[in-house]
Amino acid sequence: MNRFKIFPTVLALAMGLAGCGTASTTPADKTPISAEANGTFAGEGSGKGGKITVNVTLDQNEIKDIQVTESHESGVISDAYDIMRQAMIEQNTPDVDMVTGATLTSAGFRTAVEDAIKKAGVTLKEKKVTPHAKQEIDETYDVVVIGAGGAGLTAAITAAEAGAKVAVVDKLQMSAGNTLISGAEYAAPGNWLQKEENIEDSPELLAEDMLKGGDNLADPALVKTLAENALTGAEWLRDDVKVQWTDELMHFGGHSVTRSLVPVGATGVELISKLVDKAKEAGVKLYYGVRAEKINMQDGVVKGISAQALNGDTYTLHAEKGVILATGGFGSNPQMVEKYNPKLVGYKSTDSVADTGDGIAMAEEIGAQLVGMEYIQTYPLCDVLSGGLLYVDDARLYGYSILVNKEGERFVDELGRRDVLSSAILAQTGGICYEVMDEKAFKKAKIEENHGGEVAYLMNNHNLVKADTLQEAAEAFGIDAAKLAETIENYNKMVDAQTDTQFERKSMNMKIEQGPFYIVAATPAIHHTMGGIKINTNAEVLSTENQIIPGLYAAGEVTGGIHGSNRLGSCAIADITVFGRIAGEEAAKR
């Protein structure tokens, strides 16, 4: 849950009349008087990416079909529609469970269907569903992966491409881990865009930045492995998985140079959608809605897992070569957060609901060593209401905006380390900061294009203001308008000189001068847990005695020791890719 969002239009289908009875299709703005409705009715809701419209086909007051006619959700997020559609038709009601991991999309889809039924002017009779007959599934694979996020899918694909028979289990109903809801920027030293822009970089410089950014508390060997393999991993995503990258780079705090690749759409949807497609193409078996509960051992060697599905089915999955843990961190587990860092009690979280520390707990039960559990990172610019990561903030990462406090003053290097930024924001009036940009920045950063749903949500909740004048925008938040104008005048002079005399900011790529102006309110929220399971450079899990636990591997946020006390932005996607590939390779050849 790096950084969160979504987006192309789902295929629009024109639904014909059902032809039953005497009722005809009803226009969206009229309500039929009949007690029975046959035909197709339009409804509208709002999801994560914005407006969702549907056509609901009724036949004698039974839902026969639901088609999405407009949506700005894309990739795996739109899978939530299919899951809920099936349940709604089966139960003859829109009142079905939402898809965990796609809550806003699910709620918007449900609202759209409810709207269509309301316009039909009828009350549906819910059907009783025959209870599922629980089954006991016992299957054997070469490699079993726990977690269908970025690290898990990467590991699974790599193992499958090496010839292994692979299964992946995930407790959610779709691939909805932190990678999906992140910005998915990727720190890749020496990448193709850097070469075009004549930016000098190297794995050694990335490693140096990461070690320094984590207060030299990371394992140097793990950092070196990540840095030396980051570019190869990015190229693998581009060439093998077919992930599309934009033609611009971002500069995150703590990095010496601009080196972070940005996926098309500026979210993790591009990565996860392509990884899921590649996993299926590689023959990986994906079990969604199946929660791993135990790692099974035999004579001191990991031999598989026990799991249980949402429908009550139990699974015993044998792993001839190994089990790979890729379950993410614990940022969405308040009890674990409090246990390891009581200072963060009460903080909201940007993380996936799946990030509850399951893999860490399972590994600890069989003697795995944990490291750095107290190191929990907050992301500095998050929604003041939900804690969700803000993508309007993309402008800052391109060097197009500034942060000010209630008094209208800059107070920090906007591209500093995340922990430094978070602490600085919390020290301001109300623990809130305000990101300021102009129309040129808003367009150049493609805020509306990539994150239109978020823009609408923030504006509806008055946490993002667009105004013709800077004074009007400032007054909407009670910011000292005169001081803000002075701050921006001084900042623009520093942009001209390309020298930040206040905070030594490295990237100042645009003045703030052309209205309309935008201001968004933000505050920190829990974003990444740097601590977790200890691994070696082969992604093998180590015991409390520092011995390899045979047959057990781990990759991604479930591991510890890679980022020290603080993770630099865009290093997580490099982390999950590099160690996901290593875990898959090592498990497959065991």
Q: Residues with catalytic annotation? A: 418
Handedness of CA 439, 444, 446, 447 (dihedral sign): negative
> Quick one: CA torsion of 345, 175, 4, 583, rounded to 10 degrees?
80
Tell me the DSSP string of 156-178.
Answer: HHHHHHTT--EEEEESSSS--ST
Q: Give Dmax over CA atoms of the chain in angstroms.
A: 76
Handedness of CA 58, 107, 173, 135 (dihedral sign): negative
Are the C-beta atoms of 580 and 152 separated by less than 8 Å? yes
Euclidean distance between CA atoms 371 and 382, whole angstroms: 27
Are the C-beta atoms of 269 and 74 separated by less than 8 Å? yes
As beta bridge partners, residue 522 has: 433
Euclidean distance between CA atoms 125 and 431, whole angstroms: 50
Amino acid present at 195: K
Among 509, 553, 32, residue whose Cα is nearest residue 302: 553
Tokens 């990467």 found at: 154
In the chain, count H helices and then E strands.
16, 22
Are the C-beta atoms of 210 and 226 separated by less than 8 Å? yes
Are the C-beta atoms of 104 and 48 separated by less than 8 Å? yes
